[in-house]
Amino acid sequence: MKKYILGIESSCDDTSAAVLENNKVLANIIAGQDVHKRYGGVVPELASRAHQQNIIPVVDAALKTAGIEKSQLSAVAFTRGPGLLGSLLVGTSFAKAFTLGLNIPLIEVDHLKAHILSHFIQNTEGNKKLPSLPFLCLTVSGGHTQIVLVKSPHEMEIIGKTIDDAAGEAFDKAAKIMGLPYPGGPIIDKLAKEGDANKFIFPKPRIKELDFSFSGLKTSFLYFVRDRLKENPDFIDQNKNDLAASIQKTIVEILMEKLAKAVKITGVYDVAIAGGVSANSLVRSRLAEEGKKRGWNVFIPDFQFTTDNAAMIAIVGYYKYLANDFAGQDVVPYARSLSKA
């Protein structure tokens, strides 16, 4: 029996709507928000206003692309949190009203779980190899850095996390120090392709077990650049590519070392990456390399499912639909992660 799930994502600065037919994507529409670029980060109030403007056209485009009528929808899944409350409220209110109008179930989805379960989205041909359970997932985004042991679509355990900044934040802050616009991660990735990753050495933190820390790295990058600028005001311009390549290599090595440790501790060899930073070309190539070297089965998401998107919300919606796990109209968004993944 075909089920059509509409997914809604509005946790940060992307308004997205997707339609899934069971576990396959029929449409995944994402409207970004350029309005934040000149502020060097997401401005919450501007983000919620842009979501208000975008949500109806985005949902409309998703239904049209999918080629289905709203009356064919089986349920609507929306991001409940974590994220910016004002932004989440737009998606939450829309999903509530839409399900009420259509008299279909409402499903609440955790954004971080959704990044992870995006690996269960099947391709159109139906021949994509999906991770087997349990698997490990390194979730690296602008707000989170976690290693999660995924026992089932409904049961996950966070076995490592950042004690300060997220990996995406480390990319974005390094970019800001270099005078690059927000979000800096993709720009660093691009510049690094032309740079020498061994030109500058930055210290890696010593953090216990599977936890991460990136704030010390950011500070040492800041002081390093500031000191060099005193001697040479053109230092950044002249060394942009090498700076980008060197900081990127340091961040990615920190991630890979912890992931290797997680495999050793858990004995789980199915290893996935998810979240915005999993779009990074070095993260992707290094994971593939480590997999080959160490005998891991690696799962690298399609680009369209790395940064925030509603298809990942809809796939969680599909699993919850099968489990009859529905939300009431009294459900409210949450800004911070609930204790479990």
Site string for ligand KG4, 4-33 (x = CB under 6 A): --------x---------------------
189 binds, among ligand KG4, Zn ion, none (CB under 5 to 8 A by kind): ligand KG4
- Does the CA dihedral 253-257-262-268 come out positive or negative? positive
For the segment 292-331, give every residue that binds ligand KG4 (CB under 6 A): 307-308
Q: Does 153 interact with ligand KG4 (rule: CB under 6 A)?
A: no
End-to-end CA distance of the chain: 30
23 binds, among Zn ion, ligand KG4, none (CB under 5 to 8 A by kind): none
Cβ distance to ligand KG4 smaller for residue 99 or 248? 248
Instruction: Tell me which DSSP letter residue 327 carries.
Output: B
Task: Please state, in angstroms and as integers, the Cα–Cα distance from residue 182 to each residue in 83, 92, 112, following that order.
Answer: 18, 26, 22
Q: Does 171 interact with ligand KG4 (rule: CB under 6 A)?
A: yes
Q: Does 118 interact with Zn ion (rule: CB under 5 A)?
A: no
Site string for Zn ion, 272-301 (x = CB under 5 A): ------------------------------
Label residue 328 exposed, middle or buried (CB < 10 Å: 0-12, 13-18, 19+).
exposed
277 binds, among ligand KG4, Zn ion, none (CB under 5 to 8 A by kind): ligand KG4
Q: Does 141 interact with Zn ion (rule: CB under 5 A)?
A: yes
185 binds, among Zn ion, ligand KG4, none (CB under 5 to 8 A by kind): ligand KG4
Largest CA distance in the chain: 68
- When binding is defined by CB under 6 A, the residue of 189, 242, 270, 290 that contacts ligand KG4 is 189
Alpha-carbon distance 102 to 172, whole Å?
41
DSSP string, 156-192: EEEEEEBSS--HHHHHHHHHHHTTPPSS-HHHHHHHH
DSSP string, 96-141: HHHHHHHT--EEEEEHHHHHHHGGGPBPTTS-PPPPPSSEEEEEE-
Q: Please, what is the minimum distance in Å from the beta carbon of residue 103 to ligand KG4?
A: 32
Cβ distance to Zn ion smaller for residue 169 or 308? 308
By the 8 A CB rule, do 188 and 243 touch? no
Residues interacting with ligand KG4, by CB under 6 A? 12, 141-143, 168, 171-172, 183-186, 189, 275-277, 279-280, 307-308
Binding site for Zn ion (CB under 5 A): 141, 308
